[in-house]
C-alpha cells in the first residue's frame, strides 16, 4: 500500500466544505436544466404558435417560461449564497491557524521573512471560491447534456458543436500555457516589491535623513517595472486569446444558425429547431468562454492555494501540551547548542549553567558573542539544536505558551510597541486590569511620565511609539515586561536609551524584582548596572569565559580606579545596600 502524502490544513478545510460544494453542484444541475427553457420556448413558438396562430398557446408558453426563469433566478441566487457562506466558513476554518503559521514562520526565520502575504492569499482564494469564475466549473460538467440534445436535434448540430468545443478548449489550454509562468513570476515580483516597500517604510527617518529616497525608490521601481512587464506580457497574450475565444463563440453561434437554416432549406429540421439549436450551442459553449475569461483569476487562486498549502505543511500546528504547575523561576541550561534561524553554524556552543529563583544575573561580552541569541533561547523563542534549557525542570519549549506567557517578561534590544493605547500595550493586549497596569508602570518608573501625556494611559500610540521618545518607549516596554509580576524576566540592553533618571528607575525595578523572587537576566554593555547583580556571566564567541558571583567577576571586568563622583545608579545601589 502506497504511503499517503500528509494532508495540509487547507485540504482539511476544503474537505469540511465538501457538502456545501456538493449542494452548489446540485443547484447547478437544476439551473442548467432550466437553461434549456429558452431553446424549448423558441422551439414551441416557431413550431406550434406560429403555425397554429394560437394566442392562448403563446400566452401560456410565455407565462410558464417567465415562471421557470424566476425559479432559475432564485436557484442561482441560492447557489451564490451557498458559495458566499462556504467562503466565509472556509476563512473561519483557516484564519486562526494561518495567522499562527505566519507568526511561527516569522519567528523561525528570525524576523527575516515575515510577511502577511499568506493572509492576502487566503482572501484571494476565498474571493475566487465565491466569485462568478467558479460557476463556470460547476456548469462545465453539463456540457455533454447540451451536446447530446444537439445531436438529437440533428447530427450536424452535434458535430459542429464538438468542433467548436475543440477550438475553444485549445484556446483555453493555450491561454494557460502561455500565461501561467509569466503570471506566476509577476505575482512573485509583486509580493517582493510590496515587502520591499513595507520594510523600508519602517526606516523612513533613516532614508530621509541620509537622502536615500531616490536610491530606494529606484530599487523599488526596478522590481515594480519587472512586475509590470511580466503582467503586461501575460495580459497581452491572455487578452488576445480571450478576444479570439469570445469572437469564435459568437461566430460559432451565428454559424450554427446558418447551419440550421441550411438544414431547414433541406427540409431536415423545422425552423424552431434552427433557432433552438443556435441558442443551445451558445449555452453549451458559454462555460468554456467564461473559464477563458476568468483564467487569470483561476491561476492567481491556484498560486495562492499552492503557497498556503506549502506554508501549512512546512509550519505544522503546535502540539497540544499538558498544563504544568505555575513556575517558580529556576533556570537550568544543559549543554545548550543554539543555531539562529537561517544560520549554519552555532552561536551558542554547548554552555551549561543554573540560575536560582530570585537571582539577578548579568550577561556581558563583546559584540557578536551570542548574548541576544542566549536571551531568545532562554525564553524558548529559539529551541536549542542540542542540549536543553529548563524552567523548573521542564524544557522551556515544552510549556504551553499561552499559559507560560503571563509568567515571562521580555524587553528586547530593539523595542517596539503595538498600535493601541499605552494601557493596552502594558497589559499585553489582554483584559486590562487598571490596578496591575498602574503597578507595572510604577515598578518601571514610568507612571508619572504617562500621566503627563495628553490622554494618560489612554494615549494611542503607533507601533513605533509616535509621540514617545526612545527612552519612554523602553520604559513602557519594561512596564509591559513587568506586568503581572512574572517569575522570569529577560532584559536585553534595558538601559541603552535611558538617561540617569530612567536608569535609576530601572535599578529600583531590578531590586524590587529580586525582592519579589523574580529570576532576572540582564544583557548589558554598561558597567554601572553590574553593581547590584548577584552573578555575572562573561560570554565570548558563544562560550562562557567566566561565570560566578559579582564579587569575583566584577573586579576582573572593571580595573580599580581612583574614586569618582557617584552616579545616580551607584547612589541607589548604596541606599539599597
Q: List pLDDT tens digits, range 69-108.
A: 999 999 989 988 888 888 888 888 888 888 888 888 777 7
Please determine, for residue 310, whether its predicted confidence score (pLDDT) is greater than 70: yes
Q: What share of the chain is helix, strand, coil (3-state, %, to 5)?
A: 65, 10, 25
Q: Are 505 and 497 in contact (CB under 8 A)?
A: no
Q: How sure is the predictor about 564, in pLDDT bands with cuts at 50, 70 and 90?
A: very low
Backbone angles phi, psi at 234, to 5 degrees: -65, -40
Please determine, for residue 63, whether its predicted confidence score (pLDDT) is greater than 90: yes
Q: Give the C-alpha separation, 158 to 170, whole Å.
A: 18
Determine the length of the chain. Answer: 577
Task: Pick the closest to residue 334 from 319, 318, 350, 358 (CA basis).
Answer: 350
Please determine, for residue 173, whether its predicted confidence score (pLDDT) is greater than 90: no
Least confident of 72-86, 133-147, 453-467, 540-554: 453-467
Please determine, for residue 7, whether its predicted confidence score (pLDDT) is greater than 80: no
What's the average model confidence in pLDDT over 146-151?
Answer: 86
Please determine, for residue 438, whether its predicted confidence score (pLDDT) is greater than 90: yes
Q: What's the pLDDT at 576?
A: 46
Q: Give the C-alpha separation, 112 to 341, whole Å.
A: 9
β-strand 348-355 against 331-338: which pairing, if any?
antiparallel
C-alpha dihedral (224, 226, 231, 234), degrees to nearest 10:
180
Please determine, for residue 67, whether its predicted confidence score (pLDDT) is greater than 90: yes
Cell of 251: 461566430
CATH class as words, domain 9-313: mainly alpha
Task: Pick the closest to residue 32 from 152, 134, 137, 139 (CA basis).
Answer: 139
Q: What's the pLDDT at 558?
A: 65
Q: Are 398 and 321 in contact (CB under 8 A)?
A: yes
Q: What's the pLDDT at 29?
A: 86
What's the average model confidence in pLDDT over 23-43?
Answer: 86
| CB proximity list for 3: less than 8 A, separation 6 or greater | none
β-strand 386-391 against 394-395: which pairing, if any?
antiparallel
Predicted TM-score (pTM) of the model is 0.69
Q: What's the pLDDT at 333?
A: 92
Going from N- to C-terminal start, the domains of the chain cover 9-313, 331-576
* Superfamily holding 331-576: P-loop containing nucleotide triphosphate hydrolases (3.40.50.300)
pLDDT > 70 in the chain, percent: 89
β-strand 408-411 against 394-395: which pairing, if any?
unpaired
Q: What's the pLDDT at 356?
A: 92
Q: List pLDDT tens digits, range 488-521.
A: 999 988 887 777 787 888 888 899 899 989 999 9
Q: What's the pLDDT at 2?
A: 44
Taken in order 221, 224, 229, 232, the sign of the CA dihedral is negative
Least confident of 110-119, 222-231, 404-413, 467-476: 110-119
Collapsed DSSP state (helix, strand, coil) of residue 340: coil
Q: Give the C-alpha separation, 313 to 531, whole Å.
A: 49
| DSSP bridge partners of 349 | 337
What's the average model confidence in pLDDT over 25-51?
Answer: 84
Q: Are 502 and 445 in contact (CB under 8 A)?
A: yes
Q: What's the pLDDT at 135?
A: 80
Q: Are 359 and 413 in contact (CB under 8 A)?
A: no
Please determine, for residue 567, whether its predicted confidence score (pLDDT) is greater than 70: no
Q: What's the pLDDT at 33?
A: 85
**What is the side-by-side strand order in the sheet with 543-549?**
408-411, 488-492, 519-523, 360-364, 535-540, 543-549
Please determine, for residue 562, whether its predicted confidence score (pLDDT) is greater than 90: no
Task: Pick the closest to residue 317 from 90, 103, 89, 15 (CA basis).
Answer: 103
Q: How sure is the predictor about 45, in pLDDT bands with cuts at 50, 70 and 90?
A: confident
Q: Mean pLDDT for the chain?
A: 82
What's the average model confidence in pLDDT over 344-365?
Answer: 91
Amino acid at each position: 500500500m502506497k504511503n499517503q502524502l500528509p494532508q495540509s490544513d487547507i485540504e482539511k478545510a476544503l474537505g469540511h466544505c465538501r457538502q456545501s460544494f456538493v449542494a452548489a453542484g446540485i443547484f447547478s444541475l437544476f439551473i442548467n436544466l432550466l437553461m434549456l427553457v429558452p431553446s424549448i420556448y423558441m422551439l414551441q413558438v416557431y413550431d406550434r404558435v406560429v403555425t397554429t396562430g394560437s394566442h392562448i398557446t403563446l400566452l401560456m408558453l410565455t407565462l410558464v417560461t417567465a415562471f421557470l426563469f424566476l425559479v432559475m433566478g432564485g436557484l442561482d441566487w441560492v447557489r451564490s449564497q451557498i458559495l458566499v457562506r462556504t467562503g466565509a466558513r472556509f476563512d473561519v476554518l483557516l484564519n486562526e491557524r494561518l495567522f499562527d503559521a505566519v507568526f511561527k514562520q516569522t519567528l523561525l526565520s528570525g524576523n527575516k521573512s515575515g510577511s502577511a502575504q499568506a493572509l492576502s492569499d487566503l482572501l484571494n482564494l476565498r474571493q475566487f471560491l465565491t466569485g462568478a469564475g467558479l460557476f463556470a466549473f460547476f456548469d462545465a460538467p453539463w456540457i455533454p447534456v447540451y451536446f447530446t440534445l444537439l445531436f438529437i436535434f440533428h447530427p450536424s448540430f452535434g458535430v459542429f458543436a464538438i468542433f467548436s468545443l475543440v477550438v475553444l478548449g485549445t484556446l483555453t489550454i493555450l491561454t494557460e500555457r502561455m500565461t501561467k509562468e509569466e503570471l506566476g513570476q509577476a505575482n512573485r515580483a509583486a509580493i517582493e516589491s510590496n515587502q520591499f516597500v513595507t520594510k523600508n517604510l519602517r526606516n523612513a527617518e533613516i532614508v530621509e535623513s541620509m537622502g536615500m529616497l531616490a536610491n530606494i525608490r529606484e530599487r523599488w521601481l526596478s522590481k515594480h517595472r519587472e512586475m509590470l512587464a511580466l503582467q503586461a506580457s501575460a495580459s497581452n497574450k491572455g487578452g488576445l486569446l480571450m478576444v479570439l475565444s469570445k469572437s469564435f463563440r459568437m461566430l460559432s453561434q451565428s454559424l450554427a444558425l446558418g447551419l440550421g437554416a441550411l438544414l431547414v432549406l433541406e427540409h431536415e429540421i423545422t425552423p424552431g429547431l434552427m433557432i433552438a439549436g443556435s441558442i443551445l450551442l451558445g449555452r453549451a459553449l458559454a462555460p468554456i468562454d467564461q473559464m477563458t475569461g476568468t483564467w487569470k483569476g483561476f491561476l492567481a487562486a491556484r498560486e495562492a492555494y499552492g503557497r498556503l498549502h506549502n506554508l501549512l505543511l512546512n509550519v505544522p500546528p503546535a502540539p497540544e501540551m499538558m498544563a504544568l504547575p505555575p513556575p517558580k523561576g529556576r533556570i537550568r541550561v544543559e549543554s545548550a547548542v543554539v543555531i539562529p534561524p537561517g544560520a549554519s553554524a552555532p552561536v551558542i556552543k554547548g554552555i551549561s549553567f543554573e540560575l536560582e529563583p530570585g537571582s539577578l544575573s548579568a550577561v556581558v561580552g563583546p559584540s557578536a558573542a551570542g548574548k541576544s541569541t542566549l536571551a531568545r533561547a532562554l525564553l524558548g523563542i529559539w529551541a536549542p539544536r542540542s542540549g536543553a534549557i529548563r524552567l523548573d525542570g521542564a524544557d522551556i519549549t515544552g510549556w504551553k505558551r499561552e499559559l507560560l506567557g503571563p509568567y515571562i517578561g521580555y524587553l528586547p534590544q530593539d523595542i517596539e510597541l503595538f498600535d493601541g493605547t499605552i494601557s493596552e500595550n502594558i497589559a499585553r493586549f489582554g483584559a486590562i486590569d487598571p490596578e496591575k497596569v498602574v503597578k507595572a508602570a510604577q515598578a518601571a518608573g514610568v507612571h508619572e511620565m504617562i500621566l503627563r501625556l495628553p490622554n494618560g494611559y489612554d494615549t494611542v500610540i503607533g507601533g513605533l511609539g509616535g509621540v514617545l521618545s526612545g527612552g519612554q518607549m523602553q520604559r513602557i516596554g519594561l512596564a509591559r515586561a513587568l506586568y503581572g509580576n512574572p517569575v522570569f524576566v529577560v532584559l536585553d540592553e534595558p538601559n541603552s536609551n535611558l538617561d540617569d533618571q530612567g536608569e535609576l528607575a530601572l535599578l529600583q525595578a531590578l531590586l524590587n524584582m529580586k525582592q519579589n523572587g523574580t529570576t532576572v537576566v540582564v544583557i548589558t554593555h554598561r558597567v554601572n548596572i553590574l553593581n547590584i547583580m548577584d552573578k555575572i556571566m562573561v560570554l565570548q564567541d558563544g562560550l562562557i569565559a567566566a561565570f560566578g558571583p559579582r564579587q569575583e567577576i566584577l573586579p576582573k571586568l572593571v580595573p580599580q580606579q581612583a574614586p569618582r563622583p557617584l552616579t545616580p545608579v551607584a547612589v541607589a545601589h548604596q541606599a539599597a545596600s
